Every structure is written in C-alpha cells, then in structure tokens.
Structure 1
Amino acid sequence: MPDTLQHINGTPVLVCAADGEPVHGERDATDLIGEAFHHDASWIAIPADRFEDDFFRLHTRVAGEIVQKFANYRLRVAIVGDISRHTAASSALRDFVRESNRGTQLWFVSDTEALRDRLGPAPANG
C-alpha cells in the first residue's frame, strides 16, 4: 500500500503506509520530507511501527535527529500507533511524548481518528 495524501479536516496530511520502509534516521526522514513536499502536505503521519526501537530510546538521539530534520523543513509530524511498551519502559520518553503533544510540531497519537480530532473540526462550507 503506498503513502497517500489525505485532507484531514482541511489539512493536507501525507499518511504513510504501515508496510513502508523503516525510518532509521535522517536519510529516511529526508526521503519522507521529499515525498511530503511532492504532495504539498503540511503534516506527515508515520506509523509508530515503522520506527526502530532506537527511536524510542532517547539516549540514542535518533528521535531528536529525525524530529529536527522535519522541523528544519517546517513539516509537522504525527507518530501514529501504540507506543505504550516504550513509554512504560522510559519516564524520559513519557515526558517527551507529553511535551511534544503540548506543541504543534510533533504529536504522538493512537490512531488516525485521534489525529483527526487533534487537527480540529473540518472547515465549514460556504
């Protein structure tokens, strides 16, 4: 299944396929950024399962490098899926997720419906 552009409540979101290539680091992030720009997306929704465990181990700095790459290109990111096994193992990750979800650059959401809710109501017609 390919990545697809979806307009979620009027916001163009590149929704990445669950069966896509793993996101290992900055190079993979750059590839996703290029695809998002190709589709004129302002958000990219990446399934949590596409990230290796090192992303969720903050001391590896993988998450920081990937998130910074997206921020440099002013592309917002939603990590979509259950990451509870990772947050259960790390209070630092729990804090990172909580702080990220307070902002506008990076969100951790349970599913695309939760992303839809976070993006707000659809614009009114007319």
Structure 2
Amino acid sequence: MLDDRVYVCEPHGEPLRETRDALDLLGEAFGRGATWVAVPAERLHDDFFALRTGVAGEIAQKFVNYRVGLAVVGDISRFTAASSALRDWVFESNRGGHLWFVGDLEELAARLPAREDPAGRS
C-alpha cells in the first residue's frame, strides 16, 4: 500500500498539459510532504505522449528540478504501440529514479524503497 510519501492525483478533472499544471501538482505534493506524485495516465493530455510536442519533457523536468518523483499510472499501451521513441523513453525512465510508468498503484508501492525506520529497523 502507498504511504504519505505519495500524492495521488485525482483521476477525474482537466487533462494535465502545461508546465503550470506540473507546478500545481508539485505545490500539492509539497503541501502534503510527499516526495512522489502519482498521476493517472488518463489525466495526461495526449500531447504528453507525443514526444515531439515537448510536453512530457517539460513536465518531467519540473519534477526533476524540484526533486519530486513522477509516476504515470495506468495503461499507456496505445501510445507506446504507436511510437518507438516513446516506448524507448518509457523503458529508460523506468530504469531511473525520477520518472516511472507503472500499471497501477500497487506496482508503484512495490517499486518505492522501504521507508527507513529512525531506530534502524526496516
């Protein structure tokens, strides 16, 4: 199960498309003390998945700059099937520590490192 390190964006609402949308999410995350934001794939505008638009890069860079992880949660297979560049980017992103594409929140919870206990217990 996810803990308070992750701010889960609502699945319903306006599609996230611009840098200011990322900044709004970052503000929500900071307000909750979260170090990760989980965004349902359906909340991201299609432009996010068309790498030539630059939307994904701009949004991802904001999260990197503010040292908050971004997890895109859900099925994006229709986008990766249409773009080898996106497929490659997803693969490389999932190897890193700042941007992950996961199928569901359980997969995200499994990928997050265990929270360290101040007393040294795991």
State TM-score, norm by structure 2.
0.90
In structure 2, the residue matched to 1:72 is: 65
In structure 2, the residue matched to 1:3 is: none
Q: CA contact under 8 A between 2:4 and 2:33: conserved in structure 1?
A: no
What CA distance in whole angstroms lies between the structure 2 residues aligned with 1:21 and 1:113? 24
The 3-state SS of whatever aligns with 2:85 is helix
What CA distance in whole angstroms lies between the structure 2 residues aligned with 1:119 and 1:74? 15
Are 2:51 and 1:46 aligned? no
Question: Which one has the bigger strand percentage?
Answer: 1
Paired AA for residue 24 in structure 1: R
Q: Which runs of 5+ in 2 are unaligned?
A: none
What CA distance in whole angstroms lies between the structure 2 residues aligned with 1:48 and 1:121? 25
Q: CA deviation at 1:21?
A: 2.7
Q: Which runs of 5+ in 1 are unaligned?
A: 1-6
Identity score, percent? 58
Q: How many residues align?
A: 119
State TM-score, norm by structure 1.
0.87
Q: How does 1:13-52 map to 2 (within 5 A)?
A: 13-52=6-45
What CA distance in whole angstroms lies between the structure 1 residues aligned with 2:76 and 2:18? 18
Q: CA deviation at 1:22?
A: 1.5
Q: CA deviation at 1:121?
A: 4.8
